[in-house]
Amino acid sequence: EVHVVESGGGLVQTGGSLKLSCDVSEITEEEPRIGWFRQAPGNERMGVACIDTTDNKTKYEDSAKDRFTISRDNAKNTIYLQISDLKPEDTAVYYCAVDRRIISWCLWAGAKYGMDYWGEGIQVTVSS
């Protein structure tokens, strides 16, 4: 079983930046797609960015392309989500998840239909 733990959240001011970390117990060829998701109050969970660890290709939700960057530290089995120019609407619980299916599933279907392994989530609050 793969264990996923998010860290790095907290309270930040509008315009600031934040780097979230997702520590994965193991990254394997069987479970190589890793994504970041978020769920704002009153909204459904949605995909933000995903990475395919077999080739490090990435995909982003359209609204996330300008300010969000997903990256990987191979040595640490850690996936990062860098968020710049934070806005109050970025306030949400951010989740990391691991899956065996294609990267498009991760970004477009994973939040609604499931990923194989989820972290517990971490709160990010952006003050105005």
pLDDT, one tens digit per residue, over 71-124 is 999 888 999 999 999 999 999 999 999 999 999 999 999 999 999 999 999 999
Q: E strand or H helix at 93, and its extent? A: strand 92-99
> How many other β-carbons are positioned within 10 Å of the β-carbon of residue 34?
28
φ, ψ for residue 127, nearest 5 deg: -90, 145
Q: How far is it between the farthest Cα atoms of the chain? A: 42
Over residues 25-63, the pLDDT tens digits come to 999 999 999 999 999 999 999 999 999 999 999 999 999
Closest CA to 36 of 25, 24, 26: 24
Who contacts 12 (Cβ-Cβ below 8 Å, separation ≥6)? 18, 86, 124, 125, 126, 127
Q: How confident is the model at residue 75, as a pLDDT?
A: 86
What is the C-alpha to C-alpha distance for residues 86 and 103, in angstroms, rounded to an integer? Answer: 26
**pLDDT higher than threshold 90 for residue 5:** yes
